[in-house]
């Protein structure tokens, strides 16, 4: 446990809020691994100051087991912390600091497992991936996927260590982020009925999204393993207009949908486009060029693996449990699953109770449980 805490203290000390450079924390991780004989491959980003890392310890083989974690954390801006968020603070059974739960605690356990592997006679390789900018929509891993498939091989299992309280999670929803641009007709507000307000179009689009949400609740596919068992739609921002006496000719909004595995995102997008055309019909009777453009900003895949997959069975064996769960939040796991690697999400800490909050912390007991699981993986690779 001593090494885990020493490493976690160093990791928390790096201010790696998403959007900021992460090269210093990657340099620390790479040095830690290379001094233990790991073969490291830095994965540069198109963004200045951003870097991913792939590493492996043991024989060169396409198989083995993969551990994956991200190095970025969410912002502390506007939060009321009672101690320095970028300094590890010990209080009783708790370790406070930004990222202790999400997810530098797991990264520290990953590095401890690499230290153990470096002193073992390995029959299969331990593989590790460290990404960046996960917290802003899995941006980093999407860039890294340009290089990873060629070097990662085909591990027989992947463990993504997002906080699940060490429960074995076999699924989460996919997410698509969208921007809608509504085009109306400029004019004087005194003649408002003669023109088409882009904000009115946008308001009707929001109403349409609410109706679609109700349809998913009443008639859509359901997966009762989730707390919210259906697809969800959410509007985050809307803006438009320049002055009260001017009819806005352009309005914008950003929204998202999170979808269960049974509903392909392309089908939901088709429903959105059909709905948009229906909304526009009465407006086009006034202004023929009324329009809604919907553009995808970002997306990441969901995860839906069988509880009997190799990764799930191995995780259940190591943790001595017989059940699995699904999580509400998104992860990078879907990207590895799409490569044909059986993947589960399993890591220390509670996202609901500790993740993204002021005075974020992780319990010693959760790190001990994670270390035990990862030590079991090393035994699996060296047995």
Q: What is the pLDDT of residues 102-115, one digit of tens each?
A: 999 999 999 999 99
Q: Are 307 and 292 within one domain? A: no
Q: Are 29 and 158 within one domain? A: yes
Q: Are 319 and 267 within one domain? A: no
Q: Are 157 and 184 within one domain? A: no
pLDDT in tens, 24-56: 999 999 999 999 999 999 999 998 999 999 999
Q: Are 17 and 140 within one domain? A: yes
* CATH number, position 182: 3.30.70.360
Distance CA 256, CA 254 (A): 7
Q: Are 17 and 163 within one domain? A: yes
Q: Are 136 and 244 within one domain? A: no
Q: Are 336 and 282 within one domain? A: no
> How many structural domains compose the chain?
2
pLDDT at 312 over 90: yes
**pLDDT for 261:** 87
Residue with the larger pLDDT of the pair 261 and 82:
82
**pLDDT for 307:** 87
**pLDDT for 1:** 85
Q: Are 44 and 140 within one domain? A: yes
* CATH number, position 55: 3.40.630.10
Q: Are 79 and 154 within one domain? A: yes
Kindly report the pTM of this predicted structure. 0.91
Q: Given 278, 300, 322, which residue is the final one in a domain?
A: 300
Q: Are 193 and 132 within one domain? A: no
pLDDT in tens, 313-363: 999 999 999 999 999 999 999 999 999 999 999 999 999 999 999 999 999
Mean pLDDT, rounded, for 286-296: 97
Distance CA 337, CA 315 (A): 16
- CB of 258 closer than 8 Å to CB of 174: yes
Q: Given 300, 327, 354, which residue is the final one in a domain?
A: 300
Q: Are 291 and 270 within one domain? A: yes
**pLDDT for 236:** 97
Helices (H), the chain: 2-12, 23-34, 105-117, 139-144, 148-152, 198-218, 265-284, 310-319, 333-338, 364-382
353: Cβ contacts below 8 Å, ≥ 6 apart: none
Domain around 198: 174-300
Nearest to 265 by CA among 298, 226, 303, 301: 301
Q: Given 274, 300, 326, which residue is the final one in a domain?
A: 300
- Per DSSP, what are the bridge partners of residue 162? none
């Amino acid at each position: 446990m001593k090494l885990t805490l020493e490493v976690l203290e160093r990791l928390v000390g790096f201010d790696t809020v998403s959007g900021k450079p992460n090269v210093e924390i990657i340099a620390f991780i790479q040095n830690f691994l290379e001094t233990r004989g790991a073969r490291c491959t830095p994965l540069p980003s198109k963004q200045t100051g951003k870097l991913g890392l792939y590493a492996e310890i043991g024989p060169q083989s396409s198989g083995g087991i993969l551990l994956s974690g991200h190095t970025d954390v969410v912002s502390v801006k506007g939060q009321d912390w009672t101690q320095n968020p970028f300094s590890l603070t010990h209080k009783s059974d708790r370790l406070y600091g930004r990222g202790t739960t999400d997810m530098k605690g797991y990264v520290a356990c990953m590095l401890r497992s690499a230290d153990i592997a470096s002193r073992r006679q390995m029959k299969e390789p331990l593989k590790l991936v460290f990404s960046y900018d996960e917290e802003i929509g899995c941006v980093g891993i999407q860039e890294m996927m340009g290089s990873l498939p060629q070097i990662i091989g085909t591990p027989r299992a992947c463990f993504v260590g997002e906080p699940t309280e060490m429960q074995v999670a076999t699924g989460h929803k996919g997410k698509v982020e969208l921007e809608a641009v509504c085009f109306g007709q400029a004019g004087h507000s005194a003649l408002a009925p003669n023109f088409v307000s882009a904000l009115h179009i946008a308001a009707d689009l929001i109403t349409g999204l609410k109706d679609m949400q109700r349809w998913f609740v009443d008639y859509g596919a359901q997966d009762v393993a989730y707390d919210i068992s259906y697809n969800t739609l959410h509007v985050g921002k809307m803006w438009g207009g320049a002055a009260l006496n001017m009819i806005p000719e352009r309005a914008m909004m950003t929204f998202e949908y999170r979808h269960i595995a049974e509903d392909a995102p392309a089908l939901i997008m088709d429903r959105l486009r059909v709905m948009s055309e229906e909304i526009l019909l009465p407006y086009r009777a006034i202004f023929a060029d009324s329009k809604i453009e919907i553009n995808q900003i970002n997306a990441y895949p969901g995860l839906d693996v069988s509880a009997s997959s190799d990764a799930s069975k191995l995780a259940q064996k190591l943790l001595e449990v017989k059940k699995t769960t699904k999580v509400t939040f998104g992860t990078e796991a879907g990207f590895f699953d799409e490569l044909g690697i059986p993947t589960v999400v399993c890591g220390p800490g509670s996202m609901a109770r500790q993740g993204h909050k002021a005075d974020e912390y992780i319990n010693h007991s959760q790190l001990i449980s994670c270390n035990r699981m990862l030590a079991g993986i090393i035994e699996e690779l060296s047995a």
